[in-house]
Every structure is written in structure tokens, then in C-alpha cells.
Structure 1
Amino acid sequence: MNTSASRRERILDAAEERFAGDGFAATGTTAIADQARVPKGLVFYYFPRKIDILRALLEERMPSAPLCEPAEVVRPGDPVASLVSLARRLGLGEHESVVLRTIIFRESGTHPEVRERLRVLRETILELTESVLDAAVEHVVDPVLRRQAAQTFVSVVMDEANARRYDGAVPDVASAASVIGAALAPPR
């Protein structure tokens, strides 16, 4: 990695850690520069405003579409195993950056860019989940029920990611998938 890129990455790494620990508003560019071991002017060279650092973190370190292809996780005839496989593949609770997950959930209430990024991520996962359910369930499912099942699943995996950021009680994704699978079972 060249020196310029490594300095920029160090600034982003430091900002990610500081924003997660202290919050965006409470983190100054001096603290970021100090932690990154670069001159403060270099922070402004790469990121003219502090919000530009946050935007770069969102653009470069958030998962982006496509998160995966449905065929990678679908188990035909087994929506429960398909959902569990999807949750593992998404790895939201295990995202390589616990710190970035913290920023997303913390700052979504105060920064429109973060809120929009979280909304797009949620919608992308919702559409992916519906596609997985379509491929996994071997009978016709009412589209409203399928959407509700997908929304339930997405709520659980997003809650899992959020709970892991503060070491809270983590929802049981497999059990939630079982409940969803039962709801989608063919009528008898």
C-alpha cells in the first residue's frame, strides 16, 4: 500500500474508532489526527469537512449491494435453512467492523446520510430475503405474507447486529427462522 493510501486509511480507522466511542459530534479532527498519527492538515487534505470522513466510512466500509445472490443461500424446500444460511452469509452481527455498526445505529438519528444508508441497507436485505423465500418455498405464498415474513426476518437480523454492538441479549436467528418457516408452511 502506498504511503498516501495508508495515511488515508489510518485517518479512516481512527475516525471510525473515535466516532464509535465518543460519537460524531464529540469527536474533533485533532483527536482523529492524533490517533492516526498524522498532521491535522492531512486530515483536511483528504477530507475537507468532518462530515466527509463520515461519508467516506459509509461509502467504503458499509456492505453494498449485491450482498449475495439468492442461489448462494437457498435450500429448496427448506425456508428455515435458507434463512439461517442467509443470516450467516450476511453476517451483520459479525460484520468486520463492530465499530462501524456502532456508528450506523448511533448516528442514524442525527445524520440524514447515515439514516438513508441504513434505510437502503434494510430495503436491500428485505428484497433479498423475499427472493430467498420465493426460491426456498415450493408452493405459492401470498405476497403480503411473504413480505411480512421477510420484514420479520430483517428485523431480527438487524436487531442482532445492533445488540452485538453493546453486548446485549442477542436474538436467536435460527428460532426466528423456524417461526417464519412455520408461518409459511403450506395449508393442510
Structure 2
Amino acid sequence: MSTADRRARILDAAEELFAEEGFDATPTARIARAADVPKGLVFYYFPRKIDLLLALLGERLPAPAADAVQGVVRRGDPAGSLVALHRRLGMDTHDSLVLRTIIFRESGTHPEVRDHLRRLRRSLVELTESALDQAVDWALAKTLRRQAAETFVSVMLDHANARRSGGALPDVTGAAAVVALALGAPST
């Protein structure tokens, strides 16, 4: 088994156990057993247990890159661009559901996780602002653009969390139309 395979198995086991039992309730020995690796190997890759959690978040739920808007923005269609951005980001896919369970549970007790959540949200807002700037044919006022982006990001995050918890899903397409109307654009 390669080094990358062992490290990935440790991350997989930690992700599953942290989601089921919580970070604090999951001993590293249990992670090692679930990954079928020696306990010392967990500490070799992740000297502190929090390093394991931060690696999970950083590698498997990273802040989206600025180029995520490429190919999704349609000039003159801010609502359609926002919906396409939401699809591109895939925040409600199964792969990130487990991590969101972890991040929202642990953000209240671990400042490092709370910081990751803040960086993720900030990057989503900035990305959404970029998409809005590229989608409209006029200059947006900075404050209005920020408020529109924050509103849409809130709906995207709520959609992702409602999906995780089995609640009613917010209407992302309707929210995109409302945001576009607030910007003075026709809805799609």
C-alpha cells in the first residue's frame, strides 16, 4: 500500500467517524483501527488530532478557486449565472454532506474549524460577487453587489444544510431570480 493510500484511508476513516461520533468523542486509536493502519502512522501524518480534522476540511471541503466562475457566467443573465454557479460548486452533493455535518458541529467548539467555515463563506461571497460583476451589463454598486452575493450564498448554504438534515429545500432558482431583480436585471 502506498503512502498516499494509507493517508487517504486515515482521512476516510476520520471523516466517517467524526461525522458519526463527533471529533472529541473519536479517539485516534479508533481511526487507526478503522483505517487498518498502526496508530503511530496516524500521528506520523497528523501530529495532532486537530491536524487531521483541518486536513479533512482543507483538502475535501476547500474554498473554491476564483476560476470556478469560468464557463458558468452568462452575460446579461445574472439569475441563470447564479444557478449555474450553484451547480458548479456542488455544495449539496453527497461528498460534501459528511464534511458539512462535521464542520457545522465542530465550529462551535473548535476555533480552527470556525475559521475554516468563515474562510469558506468569504470565498463563496467573493466568487458570487465576481459572477455577478461578469453577468451584468452595468457597473454594480459595491454595497449592493456584496449584499446580493451574501444573500445568495446564504441560500446556497441553507440549501446544502437542509439537504443534510432532510428539511425542506430552499428554492435556489427563485433566490437567484430575486437577487437578479434586486440588481435591476430581468429574471429568467
Paired letter, 1:183: A
**How far apart, CA to CA, are the structure 2 residues paired with 1:79 and 1:149?**
11
**How far apart, CA to CA, are the structure 1 residues paired with 2:114 and 2:18?**
16
Contact between 2:78 and 2:185, CA under 8 Å: does it hold in 1?
Answer: no
Contact between 1:68 and 1:89, CA under 8 Å: does it hold in 2?
Answer: no
Give the match for residue 35 of structure 1: 34
The answer to whether the aligner puts 1:128 opposite 2:127 as a matched pair is yes
Contact between 1:29 and 1:40, CA under 8 Å: does it hold in 2?
Answer: yes
Moved more, 5-14 or 57-66: 57-66
- CA RMSD, Structure 1 to Structure 2 (Å): 1.8
Pair 158,68 (structure 1): closer, same or farther in 2 beyond 3 Å: farther
**How far apart, CA to CA, are the structure 1 residues paired with 2:66 and 2:60?**
13
Structure 1 residue 65: Cα displacement: 4.1
Contact between 2:64 and 2:124, CA under 8 Å: does it hold in 1?
Answer: no
Identity percentage over the alignment?
Answer: 63
Segments ≥4 residues shifted beyond 4 Å:
none
Give the match for residue 51 of structure 1: 50
Contact between 2:107 and 2:114, CA under 8 Å: does it hold in 1?
Answer: yes
**How far apart, CA to CA, are the structure 1 residues paired with 2:118 and 2:94?**
17
TM-score scaled by length of structure 2? 0.91
Contact between 2:32 and 2:39, CA under 8 Å: does it hold in 1?
Answer: yes
- 1:11-54 per-residue CA deviation (whole Å, 9 max, x = no partner) reads 11000111111110111112111211122222222222211211
**How far apart, CA to CA, are the structure 2 residues paired with 1:153 and 1:170?**
14
Structure 1 residue 67: Cα displacement: 5.0
Q: What is the number of residues matched between the two proteins?
A: 186
Contact between 1:126 and 1:154, CA under 8 Å: does it hold in 2?
Answer: yes
Structure 1 residue 129: Cα displacement: 0.8
The correspondence of residues 1-188 of structure 1 with structure 2, limited to 5 A, is 2-66=1-65, 68-94=67-93, 96-185=95-184
Moved more, 129-138 or 10-19: 129-138
**How far apart, CA to CA, are the structure 1 residues paired with 2:143 and 2:69?**
20
**How far apart, CA to CA, are the structure 1 residues paired with 2:99 and 2:78?**
30
Gaps of 5+ in 2: none
Paired letter, 2:80: A
Pair 43,137 (structure 1): closer, same or farther in 2 beyond 3 Å: same
